Amino acid sequence: MKVNIIGAGITGLAAAYFLSKEGHEVNVFESATEPGGLSGFFPVEGMYLEKYYHHIFSGHTALIELMKDLHLEQEILFNKVKMGFFYEKRIYPFATARDLLTFTPLKIVDRFRLGLSSLMMMRIEDWKKMEKKTAMQWLSKYSGEEACRIIWKPLLKMKFGDNYDRISAAWLWNRVVDRKKSKEKGGAKETLGYIKTGYKILFDALVKEIKEHGGEIYTGTTIEKIAAQNGRSSGVMVNGELMNGDVVLATMPVPAFLRLAPSLPDDYVRSLKSIQYQGSTCVIIKLKKSLSDYYWINVSDPDSPFVGIIEHTHLLPSEYYGNRHLVYLTRYSSSNDPIFSKPHEEIYRDFAVYLHQIFPKFQVEEVEQHWVFQDCFSQPVFVQDYSRIMPETSTAIRNLYLLNTAQLYPESRCLNSSIVKARDVVNKMAQENGK
């Protein structure tokens, strides 16, 4: 098969890697000047850091296997990290059952109920039943109204904004189960992994392997249109020219796919258009001093412009970055939030000034360097009964396939899930195209 792949994020490159290893001809087209997509990176202190915080759960076996295959397994470092919850001017430890039992904003009876509901969730095996309910419906029944008000509603709002009460309980179930696996038994910390030299090394290795197997990667090259005739795709349009092929795999978010897709049946387009996205904003600051000993702090404060504080240098120590401490301040908001048209300097000031409210000892002047990254379509909104509208990887055009984060459900949107799905779509393409 000759396969044209649009996008050199993890999905596009993992698919290209599997295909090229099996002897198929692949061309990967990427609009950005470098591969990586949402796991893209930038240089800092002689290293490369991701534009958006990234970590690995111990259950991310497909990613770990891929790293082994690329002889990079020694690059993964697992570390015990602390999780916190900022609520009414205080940071509470927030990782273990013991933390829940000492979480004083909740009455003791509500803490027990919260703990029991988490245990209940972990025992559930058939997520399909869960998705008939919203997360909020399930939680208010089993965790109780107080836990919903103080913990769950703020947590869901942080990720999904005003859509918080439409989110499928199956999505939450997967998050709880995933996190449970990364917690050490009886310990006070969670174990998370990171690629020591940054995710760039993974993307570099994939590119190298794909090229060695005869594949081509064209960066700085935007696909303008997917060409199709009589229900079959003939290839992709680049700089006004047709790049022909047997199969096309598109890996960008749904709204971008619809812009370059050929004419598709109305009901298929309507279904794709019903998928909504949240966008992400990450401000990264470089400091001489650490902010706290927490890796991750959920910020439950309606006045805060950000919802999470992620001190990356608790995952990979500051010694790797010339003894500097790197902190992500993150916010998820609807893709039409005015923040996406605000100047980056203004976003940075708003975030940094508010950080001082949370850590009064922190002064904005201490920030040695800062960066701001944004993406409007980083997180699909997985509403109740989402599997009804989740697109198949096969599309209405026979040899055109679609694989993106909107198909990572109920499993989390992460590199591991993209790799699993890339493997599946490659098998499907080979079967359906008879080669």
- Helices H / strands E in the chain, number of each: 14, 19
Closest approach of ligand FAD to the CB of residue 250, in Å: 8
260 to 289, contacts with ligand FAD by CB under 6 A?
260, 280, 282
Binding flag, residue 256, ligand FAD (CB under 6 A): yes
Q: Which of 1, 3, 5, 8 binds ligand FAD (CB under 6 A)?
A: 8
326 binds ligand FAD (CB under 6 A): no
By beta-carbon distance, which residue lies closest to ligand FAD?
Answer: 37
**In angstroms, how far is the first alpha carbon of the chain from the final one?**
6
Q: Work out how close the CB of 29 gets to ligand FAD at its nearest, in angstroms, rounded to a whole number.
A: 5
Q: Is 299 among the residues that bind ligand FAD (CB under 6 A)?
A: no
Distance CA 143, CA 250 (A): 41
With contacts defined by CB under 6 A, name the span among 33-41, 70-78, 89-97, 168-176 that binds ligand FAD.
33-41
- Find out whether 219 and 16 touch, Cβ atoms under 8 Å: no
Q: Rule CB under 6 A: choose which of 17, 18, 29, 138 binds ligand FAD.
A: 29
Per the rule left: phi > 0, alpha: psi between -120 and 50, beta: everything else, 344 is alpha
> In the chain, helix, strand, coil percent, each to 5?
40, 25, 35
In the bound state with ligand FAD, the residue whose beta carbon lies nearer, of 259 and 288, is 259
* Part in contact with ligand FAD (CB under 6 A); list of ranges 29-37, 138-146, 291-299, 362-370: 29-37
On whether the CB atoms of residues 106 and 150 are closer than 8 A, the answer is yes
Using the minimum distance from each CB to ligand FAD, give the nearer residue, 100 or 256.
256
Kindly report whether the peptide bond that precedes residue 410 is cis, defined as omega within 30 degrees of 0. yes
Strand partners, 247: 3
Query: Which contiguous run of DSSP H or E holds residue 83?
Result: strand 83-87
Stretch that binds ligand FAD, among 67-75, 250-258, 317-325, 341-349 (CB under 6 A): 250-258
Q: Site for ligand FAD (CB under 6 A): which residue of 38, 139, 327, 358?
A: 38
Q: Residue 174 and residue 41: Cα distance in Å, rounded?
A: 27
| Residues at the contact surface with ligand FAD, assessed by CB under 6 A | 6-12, 29-32, 37-39, 52-55, 222-223, 251-252, 256, 260, 280, 282, 330, 375, 378, 404-405, 413-416, 418
